[in-house]
Amino acid sequence: METLDARAVAAATPASRNRVVDLLRVAALAVVVLGHWLLAAVTVRDGQLRTGAVLDLAPWTHPLTWVFQVMPVFFLVGGYANAVSWRRARERGAAWPEWLRARLRRLLVPVVPLLLTWVVLLTVAVAAGVDRGSLRTASQVALVPTWFLAAYVVVCAVAPLTLLLWERLGWASVVGALVVGGLVDLVSLTSGPWWVGFANYVVVWGAVHQLGYAWLDGRLDGTARRLGLATVGAVGLVALVRAGPYPVSMIGLDTAVVNNSYPTRVTLGFLGLLQAGVVLALEPLLQQWMARDRPWAVTVALGTRMMSVYLWHLTVMVLVIGASLLLGGLGLGVEPLSPGWWASRPLWWALLALGTAGLVAVVGRVEQVRPTRGPVAPWRPVAAAVLGCGGLGVMAGQGLVAASGLRWWWALLPVLGVALIRSRRADRPGER
């Protein structure tokens, strides 16, 4: 991580900037990282790796996911940031393709080193005769973070349209999205094909994204209104879990017939209402804290590398587990959920954090994407969004290895998308 002078950072920050937006973004991704590291219940017995998840082994942890499934907070922050960005672009006369290109560059460029690294690692491992089942599991686990990018790319691409709906319909746009999300679930879980549920990656997360617009426009001002939003979310979430087929856990379970997160269900929309209401009720206190130089400088420093931390944290965990196997299971002999296992979690976190920090120090600079302005052929950012979303979505669900061999082309689709919006030709003023 880069060290930043606290006073310089504070002095350079515009007074109009809502620092809580930055804080919540960093905090949400940090909770996801620590949560993923905690959920892994991995042991080595007689030289054999045994994998599991805390949520599958300990049902008492399921209600805790209402706090630790914090992706709704990220989409809330994304709505706020995208609205600010698009309105500024409109004011300077920028067109949607130009704006989308800039957003996609910030989202997709940091993932390129990760994808190319895994293509190389898997190619070498397959050539060395490593069991393909193990490689498939490893690549699936390591590339789990890409599901978020796949969904967020689409939500960003349609942000100008959803912002227009918000400006014209207000809260009806949020209610309407949740209603549609419920109908998608109804079809997916009953009469229709199950894959219809994937529409909620856009519909439900889009509804949470709308809450960011409400926050920005002052439609959620006042503690009473924010706690009211949290109450609506809590009541709706409890009702859905009690009356419907939805499990308590807001994080996917291998043992569940219905998952709330794969595909996204309307329950996560109501979780978004709950979490948005709670964190925004705390905004005045958070604003006071962020007004101090040192906390704000730390937030900025983390923010410049947090996407890389998010993208690489599970790769580091997979590599650490692989190294342990080569060393005869060193450090992975403690039974999951035992007192000794819980006592060792801080050391586990520290080891993975150290490894991630070292890796991010090498690859993190790719997050410093240079701004690109000027007309761009509309098909380029559209194609980049399709390629990025498609490749990332498939990898998140299936990994890069099948029984027939390595499916490296899925990783190269987002890379090709980045090439479309990074090429010099895309920046030529004369191209339309």
- DSSP characters for 268-315? HHHHHHHHHHHHHHTHHHHHHHHTSHHHHHHHHHHHTTHHHHHHHHHH
Is the pLDDT at 2 greater than 70? The verdict is no
Residue 402 pLDDT class (50, 70, 90 cuts): confident
Give tens-digit pLDDT for 293-325: 889 999 998 998 999 999 999 999 999 999 998
Residues 277 and 214: their CA atoms lie apart, in Å, by: 11
Average pLDDT over residues 173-181: 97
Instruction: Kindly tell me the burial class for residue 349, based on how many C-beta atoms sit within 10 Å of its own C-beta (0-12, 13-18, 19 or more).
Output: middle
What's the pTM value of the predicted model, to 2 decimals? 0.92
Residues 112 and 286: their CA atoms lie apart, in Å, by: 34
Give tens-digit pLDDT for 267-288: 999 999 999 999 999 999 999 9
Structure tokens given for 337 = 């959920």
Residue among 17, 28, 74, 78 at smallest CA distance from 213:
78
Q: What are phi and psi of 45, to 5 degrees?
A: -125, 125
Q: What are phi and psi of 399, to 5 degrees?
A: 75, -165
What is the separation of C-alpha 233 from the centre of its chain, rounded to a whole number of angstroms? Answer: 21
Residues 338 and 142: their CA atoms lie apart, in Å, by: 26
Instruction: Kindly tell me the burial class for residue 304, based on how many C-beta atoms sit within 10 Å of its own C-beta (0-12, 13-18, 19 or more).
Output: middle
2 φ/ψ sector (left φ>0, alpha ψ -120 to 50, else beta): beta
Is the pLDDT at 10 greater than 90? The verdict is no
Q: Hey, which residues does 261 pair with through a beta bridge?
A: 264
Query: What pLDDT score does 408 carry?
Result: 87
Is the pLDDT at 75 greater than 60? The verdict is yes
Average pLDDT over residues 74-96: 95
Is the pLDDT at 1 greater than 50? The verdict is no
**For residues 400 and 406, is the Cβ–Cβ distance under 8 A?**
yes
Weakest-pLDDT range from 77-91, 222-236, 414-428: 414-428
Pairing of strands 48-50, 43-45: antiparallel
Residue among 68, 67, 85 at smallest CA distance from 21:
85
Q: Please state whether the peptide bond connecting residue 429 to the residue before it is cis, i.e. omega within 30 degrees of 0.
A: no
Q: Hey, which residues does 48 pair with through a beta bridge?
A: 45
Is the pLDDT at 199 greater than 70? The verdict is yes
| Helix H or strand E encompassing 44 | strand 43-45
Average pLDDT over residues 168-197: 94
Average pLDDT over residues 193-208: 93
Query: What pLDDT score does 352 carry?
Result: 97
Is the pLDDT at 360 greater than 50? The verdict is yes
Is the pLDDT at 59 greater than 50? The verdict is yes
Query: What pLDDT score does 78 carry?
Result: 97
Instruction: Kindly tell me the burial class for residue 267, based on how many C-beta atoms sit within 10 Å of its own C-beta (0-12, 13-18, 19 or more).
Output: buried
Residue 417 pLDDT class (50, 70, 90 cuts): very high
* Residue found under tokens 């859905």: 240
Average pLDDT over residues 33-49: 89
Average pLDDT over residues 236-246: 94
Residue 96 pLDDT class (50, 70, 90 cuts): very high
**For residues 47 and 332, is the Cβ–Cβ distance under 8 A?**
no
CA angle 59, 257, 390 (to 5 degrees): 110
pLDDT over 70 for what percent of the chain? 95
| Helix H or strand E encompassing 405 | strand 405-406
Could you count the other beta carbons within 10 Å of the beta carbon of residue 255? 11
305 φ/ψ sector (left φ>0, alpha ψ -120 to 50, else beta): alpha
- Mean pLDDT computed over every residue of the chain: 90
Could you count the other beta carbons within 10 Å of the beta carbon of residue 328? 10
Residues 341 and 366: their CA atoms lie apart, in Å, by: 36
Query: What pLDDT score does 193 carry?
Result: 87
Residue 5 pLDDT class (50, 70, 90 cuts): low
Residue among 349, 352, 350 at smallest CA distance from 316:
352
Residue 67 pLDDT class (50, 70, 90 cuts): very high
Structure tokens given for 144 = 């789990």
Residue among 104, 102, 44, 21 at smallest CA distance from 279:
21
Is the pLDDT at 15 greater than 80? The verdict is no
Query: What pLDDT score does 11 carry?
Result: 65
Structure tokens given for 6 = 């606290």
Query: What pLDDT score does 423 carry?
Result: 52
Query: What pLDDT score does 432 carry?
Result: 34
Could you count the other beta carbons within 10 Å of the beta carbon of residue 347? 10
